[in-house]
Chains A and B, each alone.
Chain A
Amino acid sequence: MQKTAICSDNVVQSFTKILFVMKLTIALLIVGLLNANARSFSQTVTFSGRNVSLDKLFSVIETQTGYTIFANKDLLHDVKPVTISAKNMPIKDFLTTILKDQPIDFVIENRTIFIKEKTPPSPAFTTQADLPPPPVTITGIVTGTEGLPLQGATIMVKSTHATTVTDEKGHFSILAAGNQTLIVSFVGYQSLEIPIRNRTTIDIVLQKALAELNQVVVTALGIKRQTKALTYNVQEVDGSEVNTVKDANFVNSLTGKVAGVTINNAAAGIGGSVRVVMRGTKSLTGNNNALYVVDGIPLPNLTTSQAADIFSGAGATGDGVSNINPDDIASISVLTGPAAAALYGNQAANGVVLVTTKKGIAGKLSLNVTDNTNFFSPLVLPQFQREYGSVQGNFDSWGDKLKTPSNYDPEDFFNTGYNSTEAMNLSTGTDRNQTYLSAARVDAAGIIPDNTLSRNNFSVRNTSSFLDNKVNLDLGAAYINVTEQNMLSQGQYFNPLIPIYLFPRGDVIEKYKIYERYDATRNLKTQFWPYGDEGFQMQNPYWIINRDFFINHKDRYVVNAAAKYNIDSWINVTARVKLDDNTTIGEKKYYASTSGLFASPAGAYYRATAGTKQLYADVLLNIDKALTHTLTLNANIGSSFLDTKYDYQSYGGNLLSVPNLFSFTNVNQSLATVAQDDYHDQAQAVFGSAELSWRNAVFVDLTGRTDWSSALVNTTASSIFYPSAGASVVLTDLLHIHSPAMSFLKVRGSYSEVGNPPQRFITIETYPIQGGFPVTSSYMPATGLQPERTKSTEAGFNAKFLRNRISLDVTAYQSNTYNQLFNPNLAPSTGYTSFYINAGQVTNRGIEATLSYNGPLARGLEWNSSATFTLNRNKIIRLLSNYTDKSTGETVSVDSLNVGGTGSYEMVLKKGGSIGDIYVTTLETDEHGYIFVDATSKTVLADPNNTYIKAGNAAPRYNIGFRNSFSYKNFNLSFLVAARIGGVGVSVTQAIMDRFGVSRASAQARDAGGVKVNGHLIPAQPYYQVAGGGVAGIGSMYVYSATNVRLGEASLGYEFPARFFHHKIQGLTLALTGRNLFMFYNKAPFDPETTASTDTYWQGIDYFMQPSLRSVGFSVKVQL
């Protein structure tokens, strides 16, 4: 093999060569497999018996052929036992024989046998004379809830059993009297009874049957699996769940709907990033957010740097997944555990959100147009006072009680935000070729004035088949364009909320709304804010929103192609390629007279361009094969290639001469900042999985993957192997339990190992360049690193009761992440700020459970309810223990590690503690533990020893989501209650408001004659100057429980049937929707589910965060 030839620098070229080699290998494999298994390939049945029940015969067919039989139990009421003797009889003949005199018939599709009602010979046989009203021809269309026509649906007249089947366009025509009732049924949908009531045209919409037993779900790499075969927990969310109450970032719509997941939205308002942590944080220094996968292919990691200090937070931006058009989503599978995701190798440790997008459907052209309009207001604000004023010229509000309360209300600053989304999608196609087109436009404005977001999504997808269905092609292209302006999450810099919240109550805000005044010497308007920055980098809040701009433009192109070749009915090979190219341009424009900390008198201008280009390709051989009468193999073998290039350049600085001319040519070149940051990562992998099923009731699943990653250079391993194994047993099938009370029971268990290579670059010592000259590195060079590894086990069961109406899924898991890449801070005395080492071990254990009910509540009233429960316990088993430094032989242990904070609030990792533990400063206490009060000054003091006490953990103890949907006739009402129990947060906002005397607490204290400390009143102002003083106050005085219960979503919809419009349009749905409507319970002065950072740390801290949004709106959906 010519190694050098294969290893061309040209990635695409080398990949095509890999593909070629892969093809050869697969061809060889196929030949081998064919030889090995040719004998067991059989579709015949051998059986003899007298008066055997059909149930028994069906299971004989299933075990001997590996086929699956779908049979609605109701259809089997009137069947008779059968006597038969068959030897190697083809399956079709066997079925025809045993069903000959039965009221049922069968259809075979793709190794699945559907049992259906037998079509009576002809409606003409009904005795018309017996029926007083003469039968008339009734016509109509049967569609599914997605609006697409259903071909092959059965329509039967209830009393006469006259039956017909819909054509390819869903049309039917049947003879029936006007006082009779039609029964409409279709595989995979709930049957419906419709009284005719003398109509001649009836359009019928069938609801999807949710508790379908042999449901198929999408798993890793887009591989479809029977739900009952899964050895791990996969939760499916229908596309409608993220579209009914729409959010600009669809991930927010998963809140409360999936167990085992903690979702926190960033405080950046509309379109902000979302923090999604599955089964607890595992990695001390790595990424802990879930991986997003669209149609089997991982998305590039487009997360952006997050606020992690008291300053930053202005100019935030949404993550890559926030660009996805929710209307394109057909369904979402959530793989919370590593076992489910093991085929993704090193990216899988944190779980996966798998998105399956829509594609064109054969049938008539269908066009959907939707409009969603939502209005936003702040959900939780701190409480302000307006009774006490300020001393003239002072910024704080510790003045006298006002004669009439101030009419200043910080809430007035906020606008009513809105988000208007118009989306259309079109689906058309024939049996051979289907096309899906979609376009969407989002226009949104935040609650902070001048915060806007707009997004355009276009996508087109074509699926086609050739050569008698031997070859399937799937081609797609998408373009996304996003513009964000002034997204703010928190912090001091450019945060208008600080001056707005702290504004002196004795002053009049109207004066400052004219935020710029004419400056005669400069002949331009300059900022009016005589108060100065007050040590908080404050500016005039109206200047900030109108004259300091943070604008991000994103352009993203995605093209993908997949080809599938069906070698035989049981084997196919798929190849996929996807290129995802994302460019973000971030601009900052600070107008002349912006605070000198940020700009020269002429202003400042910065512009940064970041490009991420990801090429993914894989080849996958899929085998679905009956090995013996009872044993079926479902196997995949493949190889993948992932190449990511990132380039970042920025330039900018203070403007030199011309005010407000935002151009590089006007930047003060000698002081300009220039930055460049690039990387090129490559990972290659081979993987395989095998699922063996025995009697379609016992399943064993094995997967393995080996990764070669460029970040492994100079580590102890050149590749990493990740295995997983699992088993599941459908007890109801295995033991032939067919009781209506217990309709299904499966137990399952799995084990997996996944992991992470070390961070790129750290194993090769280099010297950063500053100002054109190399400088020493801030970290010790890393040697002898190993990849991080997570070993996890999970076990669970799925049970369904009362004819599948109630289902309960419970999973218990444990994961152990060790060999963690650990980046502890070093004392400055070492000359380095940090070093890298494998150490640290973190375990997570928990339970995720879903209980749901799906069925009628009363006549005509359908109730669909589900409750999710999430519990996770995180424990740091060790940090760095007994590490021996090579050069000195010195052995060190690190049992505590500070991972950042404000000074009053710190996140600290401690051996025996948990990731997310919050430590806070305290007031000085006396020898009895009481707060020390100075006898003469009557005030308290900050603890002079600066000791930190543990306040709690930022993560919840439990999460509960309770979702309900009621449908009655064409009305649908649904709501979601989301509860989070446990965890704490610290509000620096409240501390600083107290110090400035603008909080309600500070007014109440003054009214009461002071603050009660140790049971005695002490003067309020000096107390709050200590408790709310310093950098961020005394942390222990501002710790709040993060427990909260909210009405997370609500919607009320009405669906107009097509006949309402005389079939001019196919349907119209109107809905009133709401999100985050109100808190049933919340004791914190901020929304505890909102976070300033989507990273692992800087959680549970409110430093003037933008409030979360309450949203109320409506949606209109028209189907043409």
Chain B
Amino acid sequence: MNLLKKLLSGLGVVLIAGCTKNFQQYNTNPDNATQQQLQYDNLGTGVFFSQMEQNIFPTAQEPAFGDEMYQVVQNLCGDVYSGYMGASDNWFGGVNNTTYSMTPSWYGQAFGRAFLSVMPAWLSIKKQTRGNPATQHIYALAQIIKVESISRTTDMYGPLPYKQFGAGGLTTTYDPQDSIYYSFFADLDSAIATLSTYVQNNPGSMPLASYDLIYAGDYTKWIKFANSLKLRLAMRLVYVDPVNAQKYAESAVNNAYGVFTSDADDALLQSADGINIHNPLQIICFNFNDIRMGATMESLLTGYKDPRLSYMFNPAVRDGKYHGIRTGISIPNISMYTDPFSTLNVATTTPIRWMSAAEMYFLRAEGALRGWNMGGGTAQSLYETGIQTSFTQWGAGSAAAYILDSTDKAAVYVDPSNSANNLSSGISTITVHWKTSDPMETQLERIITQKWIAMYPDGQEAWSEFRRTGYPRVFPVVVNNSGGLISTSAQIQRLPFPQSEYQSNATGVATGVAELGGPDNGGTKLWWDKK
């Protein structure tokens, strides 16, 4: 046998050995970029910003299935749990996330988006810039976008395998949510400092202009974004760590660049640089026919006769009026919940708003209400500026009359397809007009209710703030298939950790469950949820 092997190898050397030199080329995927090609045009850092930005609100098209991803990551999660929208479909016979039967193929996706699409791109940038002082501004920007992504993710799940990410191991331990949150502030502060120095030293320089879909490489705007994000996250801590909440909020507002103050500051994801961003809500609403206005939204907007209503939603085809769908109902026949209800007023070109100036005014109003230094202005003035900023953003004109309305309240809800879903008690009684004499809690409800309207359609942030404050009074589910794990009145608190983590990172996820401090289901409250 050995002889044969030698004979054959000998023959082979004569015949072939010289002819395998093209094998390197054959075995390189011709449709992918090589390491060498990534060195051209600063691609090695630049393109990964696009990747990060397209995966926070998932929009990347096939084969990434951006629309389907957005549907399960945002739409059938925060968008329906916040009461903004109601599902018009009954996947798996109505036994799915909307009725609190948590569907693994849905609730695991947001985790995957963060750790398979955003974090690897961040890690690539980190590796490319590590140890090079000249490129720390690039890393600083990556840090800000990372915090934007992971803050949304931790508010869905709680503890995450975050700080050890990229250490190279095959299993990763989870960090408790408090340490994740405190790292956000440290990362943002460091990024703000780095970028501020860069902007001062290199005025007008925009090295990432061709890769940044949000601000076209304008670092000044990114600093404002970082401050705004810091303010949003600081407020989240108010019931668990009020001292730090105030400290971070004040430092954000009072930073030299400050937070968003006008629509021009808003972070918008839209088509740019040759990348087509197609608003997935348009596909989900009109092509999939899966989503409509939410019942809570209908109740508040029609109750307040809110001028923004027609900018946000379309009248129902059936009767020309506005009708929303409650989350968590039985849909025996889909046609009962499509045409009779209001579609979203969204176009393919509608930008995806990461964060708005209106939200900042409401956050500052809440800070002022709590006696913090919010850069001037009273709770009332900031509240009213917030409303006007939102009106301006939606193109709804002057909010002067709206702000003075002290009589209109949320409307009684009627489901035109099934009266069993009607709701007349337990709904909000708050009015728009600010009354200084109202108790603080009423004023807080007023601020949060208006912030909720203003932040539409970012259901993820609205759901987080609903969990933090209990406002606005989002309608509870009618059908609860959680088997008692999720309370109908307290509503859903979080998403379970993905099954893929249990399968491949069992020891890691066990630390996550331990940090969570309760069973890994939708009924366990997050760390900051202490009110």
Please report A residues at the B interface, Cβ cutoff 8 Å: 1, 3, 6-7, 9, 14, 18, 21-22, 25, 391, 393-396, 530-535, 595-597, 599-600, 637, 639, 654, 670-671, 673, 675-682, 684, 686-688, 690, 702, 704-706, 708-714, 718-719, 721, 723, 725, 760-761, 763-776, 778, 824-833, 835, 885, 887-888, 890, 892, 894, 896-898, 903, 941-942, 944, 946, 992, 995-996, 1025, 1029-1031
The 8 Å CB contact of B278, one of A1, A25, A671, A829, is A671
* A767 with B38, Cβ < 8 A, contacts A534-B334, A671-B276, A903-B104 known: yes
Say yes or no: A18 contacts B15, CB within 8 Å: yes
B500 contact from A9, A394, A678, A825, Cβ within 8 A: A825
Task: Judge whether B63 and A535 touch: CB under 8 Å.
Answer: no
- Where the two chains meet, the residues of B that have a C-beta atom closer than 8 Å to any C-beta of A are 1, 4-5, 7-9, 11-12, 14-24, 26-35, 38, 43, 47-48, 50-51, 54, 60-64, 89-96, 101, 103-105, 108, 111-112, 114-117, 119-121, 123-124, 160-161, 165-172, 271, 274-276, 278, 283, 286-289, 332-336, 338, 348, 483, 485, 498-501, 503-505, 508-509, 521
Q: 4 tightest A-B contacts by CB?
A: A532-B334, A827-B505, A596-B287, A829-B161
Residues of B within 8 A of A595 (CB): 289
Please state if B31 and A677 are interface contacts (CB–CB under 8 Å): yes
Which residues of chain A are within 8 angstroms of B95 by Cβ–Cβ distance? 1025, 1029-1030
Say whether A829 contacts B26, CB under 8 Å: no
**Residues of the A chain whose Cβ atoms lie less than 8 Å from the Cβ of B15:** 18, 21-22, 25, 639, 684, 686
Give Cα distance in the complex from A713 to B23, angstroms.
Answer: 7
* Closest B residue, CB atoms, query A529: B335
A396 to B62, CA, bound (A): 34
Known: A680-B26, A892-B170, A1030-B92. A833 touches B18 (CB 8 A): no
Given that A721-B9, A1029-B92 are known contacts, is A773 also in contact with B20, CB under 8 Å in the complex?
A: no
List, in ascending order, chain B residues with CB within 8 A of A768's CB: 31-32
Measured CA separation A830–B499 after assembly (Å): 15
Instruction: Find chain B residues with CB under 8 A from A767 CB.
Output: 32-34, 38
16 contacts between A and B (CB under 8 A): A675-B62, A684-B19, A684-B20, A686-B15, A705-B8, A708-B12, A708-B23, A709-B23, A719-B9, A768-B31, A773-B47, A776-B124, A827-B505, A829-B160, A1025-B93, A1030-B101
Q: Decide: B503 and A896 in contact? CB cutoff 8 A.
A: yes
Given contacts A676-B31, A771-B276, A1031-B105, contact A721 B8 (CB under 8 A): yes
Contacts of A21 in B (CB 8 A): 14-15
Q: Is the CB of A892 within 8 A of B171?
A: yes
In the assembled complex, which residues on chain A have CB atoms less than 8 Å from the CB atom of B503? Answer: 825, 827, 896-898
Q: Nearest Cβ in chain A — how far from B201, in angstroms? A: 29
B157 to chain A minimum Cβ distance, whole angstroms, is 11
For residue B91, give the distance in angstroms from its CB to the closest CB of chain A.
4
- Point out the residues of chain A lying under 8 angstroms from B348, CB to CB: 670-671
Using known A-B contacts A686-B12, A688-B4, determine if residue A670 contacts B333 with beta carbons closer than 8 Å: no
Shortest distance from the beta carbon of A1038 to any chain B beta carbon, whole Å:
15
Give the one of B287, B348, B509 with max A CB within 10 A: B287
Which one of A7, A394, A831, A995 has the highest number of Cβ atoms from chain B below 10 Å of its Cβ? A831
Known contacts A684-B15, A767-B32, A827-B171; A600/B287 CB under 8 A: yes
Whether the Cβ atoms of B23 and A712 lie closer than 8 Å is yes
Complex interface: chain B residues within 8 A of A677 (CB): 31
CA distance A1 to B18 in the complex (A): 9
A825-B1 in contact given A688-B7, A769-B32, A833-B116 (Cβ < 8 Å): no
Once the chains bind, are A763 and B27 in contact (CB under 8 Å)?
yes
Q: Are A887 and B168 in contact (CB under 8 A)?
A: yes
B residues near A600, Cβ cutoff 8 Å: 287
Residue among B27, B112, B169 with the most chain A CB within 10 A?
Answer: B27
Contact check, A14 vs B19: say whether CB atoms are below 8 A apart.
yes
Contact A766 B120 (CB under 8 A): no
User: Residues of A contacting B4 with CB < 8 Å?
Assistant: 688, 690, 702, 704, 723
Knowing that A14-B19, A21-B14 are A-B contacts, what are 5 other residue pairs whose CB atoms are under 8 Å apart, sorted by A's residue number? A704-B1, A712-B23, A766-B35, A828-B115, A888-B168
In the complex, are the beta carbons of A532 and B335 less than 8 A apart?
yes
Give the distance in Å from the alpha carbon of A890 to the alpha carbon of B173 in the complex.
Answer: 13
| Cα of A535 to Cα of B335 in the assembled complex, Å | 12
Task: Tell whether A678 pairs with B31 under 8 Å between CB atoms, given A532-B333, A670-B276.
Answer: yes
Q: A766-B32, A771-B276 are in contact. Are A702 and B93 (CB under 8 A)?
A: no
Complexed CA–CA distance, A774 and B43 (Å): 8
Rounded to whole Å, the gap between the CB of A603 and the closest CB of chain B is: 12
Asked if B1 and A828 make an inter-chain contact with CB atoms under 8 angstroms apart, the answer reads no
A944 interface neighbour in B9, B27, B115, B483, Cβ under 8 Å = B483
In the complex, what's the smallest C-beta–C-beta distance from B73 to chain A, in angstroms? 13
Docked Cα-Cα span, A393 to B331, in Å, equals 11
Question: Is B485 touching A944 in the complex (CB atoms < 8 A)?
Answer: yes
Specify which chain B residues have a CB less than 8 angstroms from the CB of A765 in the assembled complex. Answer: 35
B161 near A772: Cβ-Cβ < 8 Å: no
Give min CB distance, B356 to chain A, whole Å. 26
Shortest beta-carbon distance, B505 to chain A, in Å? Answer: 3
* Contact status B332-A393, CB under 8 Å: yes
In the bound complex, do residue A7 and residue B19 qualify as a contact, i.e. CB atoms below 8 Å apart? Answer: yes
Q: Nearest-CB distance from B408 to chain A (Å)?
A: 35
Nearest-CB residue, chain B, relative to A21: B15
Partner of B504, one of A14, A824, A888: A824
CB of A830 within 8 A of CB of B172, answer yes
Determine whether the beta carbon of A771 is less than 8 Å from that of B27: no
Given the known inter-chain contacts A22-B15, A776-B121, please indicate yes or no for A7 contacting B115, CB distance below 8 A: no
**Which residues of chain A are within 8 angstroms of B500 by Cβ–Cβ distance?**
825, 827-828
Cα distance, A6 to B48, chains bound together (Å): 42
Give complex CA distance A395, B21 in Å: 63
Contact check: which of A6, A710, A944 meets B26 at CB < 8 Å?
A710
Q: How far is the CA of A995 from the CA of B509 in the complex (A)?
A: 34
Inter-chain CA distance A946–B271, complex, in Å, is 42
Hey, which chain B residues are within 8 Å of A597, CB to CB?
Answer: 287-288
Contact (Cβ within 8 A) A713 B24: yes
Contacts of A1029 in B (CB 8 A): 92-93, 95, 101
Closest to B103 in A: A1031
Q: How long is the Cα–Cα vector from A760 to B334 in the complex, in angstroms?
A: 46
**What's the minimum C-beta distance from A437 to chain B, rounded to whole angstroms?**
37
- Note all chain B residues with C-beta closer than 8 A to A761: 27-29
**Taking CB as reference atom, which chain A residue is nearest B51?**
A775
Q: Tell me whether A719 and B12 are in contact in the complex, defined as CB-CB below 8 angstroms, given that A828-B501, A831-B120 are known contacts.
A: yes
A238–B64 Cα gap in the complex (Å)?
Answer: 49
**A535 touching B90 by the CB < 8 A rule?**
yes
Q: Which residues of A have CB within 8 Å of B43?
A: 774
Closest Cβ–Cβ distance, residue A311 to chain B (whole Å) = 10
User: Once bound together, how far apart are the Cα atoms of A942 and B121, in whole Å?
Assistant: 39
A608 shortest CB reach to chain B, Å: 13
B335 lies within 8 A of A391 (CB)? no
In angstroms, how far is the closest chain A Cβ from the Cβ of B32?
A: 4
Bound CA span A708–B20, Å: 8
CA distance A35 to B121 in the complex (A): 68
**CB neighbours of B23 from chain A (8 A):** 682, 708-710, 712-713
- Known contacts being A394-B333, A888-B167, is A682 close to B33, with CB within 8 Å? no
Knowing A706-B8, A769-B32 touch, does A670 contact B278 (C-beta < 8 A)? Answer: yes
Q: Nearest Cβ in chain A — how far from B243, in angstroms?
A: 32
- Would you give the shortest CB distance from B188 to chain A, in whole angstroms? 22
- Residues in B whose Cβ lies below 8 Å from that of A778: 116
A546–chain B nearest beta-carbon distance, Å: 21
Q: Which residues of A contact B161 (CB under 8 A)?
A: 827, 829
In contact, A941 and B338 (Cβ under 8 angstroms): no
For residue A201, give the distance in angstroms from its CB to the closest CB of chain B: 59
Task: Evaluate whether A7 and B32 lie within 8 angstroms (CB atoms) in the complex, with A829-B172, A944-B483 already known.
Answer: no
A776 B19 Cβ-Cβ under 8 A: no
Roughly how many angstroms separate A825 CA and B504 CA in the complex, as a whole number?
7
What chain B residues lie within 8 Å of A903 (beta carbons)?
A: 104-105
Please state if B11 and A25 are interface contacts (CB–CB under 8 Å).
Answer: yes
> Cβ of A770: which chain B residues have Cβ within 8 Å of it?
60-61, 63-64
